[in-house]
Amino acid sequence: MRIVLVGPPGAGKGTQAAFLAKNLSIPHISTGDLFRANISQKTELGKLAKSYIDAGNLVPDEVTIAMAKDRMEQPDAENGFLLDGFPRNVSQAEALDELLETETMQLDAVLDLEVPEDEVVKRIAGRRVCRNESAHVFHVTYKPPAKEGVCDICGGELYQRGDDSEETVRKRLEVYHTQTEPIIDYYKAQGLVVTISALGKVDDVTTRAMSALSGS
């Protein structure tokens, strides 16, 4: 399956993507995680992306599309993928369509996670991420680690993302509404959108998502 996951910052895209990708045996491709890996490895791409991410803005399309394309062309993505955080505006959606067309591939579904803004703010404020592996995500209240500040999975240090400050979150939400939400209409026109509520327990959201995708 080829799936795009869309939803506001903090909706739980990364959390759900980990379970969905495992259940569906497809790789989880997160442009946010790819940028963060580049930042921690201090690559040229990381240096460029950092200033945009810290300010809550989108990284320019040219580099983002090239990075996503490169990842989608890896052998493990041949039979499907779950895209998390890409595309993030209509021109990225158009670029993805072009790429899929040249490979004679199609998207199966765009899974839209709906969460009210006050919940998103709570989720982001309490999020803690592992320094070793960005897929190891916790929450101080909703999913506390057994030992404060330490990853349950690998023992790595948990930290708060630099772009999770209140001011940057406000900017990210604004960018989501103005630039990312329009892709939902873009994909609705292709009949691909399935919307679910992302409120409630993580497991319940996964069950809801799996059942919505089984109809796609």
Active site amino acids: 13, 88, 127, 161, 172
Is 136 a binder of Zn ion (CB under 5 A)?
A: yes
Torsion of CA 91, 3, 123, 163, to 10 degrees: -40
User: Residue 195's beta-bridge partner residues?
Assistant: 112
**Could you give the CA distance from residue 21 to residue 17 in angstroms, rounded to a whole number?**
6
As a whole number of Å, the end-to-end CA separation of the chain is 10
Is 36 a binder of Zn ion (CB under 5 A)?
A: no
Residue nearer to Zn ion on the CB measure, 132 or 179:
132
Shortest Cβ 33–ligand AP5 spacing (Å): 7
Shortest Cβ 73–ligand AP5 spacing (Å): 16
Shortest Cβ 8–ligand AP5 spacing (Å): 7
Is 145 a binder of Zn ion (CB under 5 A)?
A: no
Is 156 a binder of Zn ion (CB under 5 A)?
A: yes
Is 95 a binder of Zn ion (CB under 5 A)?
A: no
Cβ 103 vs Cβ 96: under 8 Å: no
Cα separation values, 78 from 6, 23, 95, 117, Å: 21, 17, 18, 36
Among 2, 28, 50, 88, binds ligand AP5 (CB under 6 A): 88
Q: Report whether 168 belongs to an annotated binding site.
A: no
- Strands in 81-84's sheet, in edge-to-edge order, are 28-30, 81-84, 2-6, 109-114, 193-197
Is 94 a binder of Zn ion (CB under 5 A)?
A: no
Q: Which does 112 bind (CB under 5 to 8 A by kind): ligand AP5, Zn ion, none?
A: none
The 10 Å CB-count burial string (b at 16+, else e) for 82-100 is: bbbbbbbbeebbebbbeee
Structure tokens at 15: 């959390």
Shortest Cβ 33–Zn ion spacing (Å): 13
Q: How far is CA 178 from the centre of its chain?
A: 17
Binding-site residues for AMP:
31, 36, 57-59, 85-88, 92, 161, 172
Contact residues for Zn ion (CB under 5 A)? Answer: 130, 132-133, 136, 151, 153-154, 156
Contact residues for ligand AP5 (CB under 6 A)? Answer: 7, 9-15, 31-32, 35, 52-53, 56-59, 64, 85-86, 88, 92, 123, 126-127, 137-139, 142-143, 163, 172, 201-202, 205
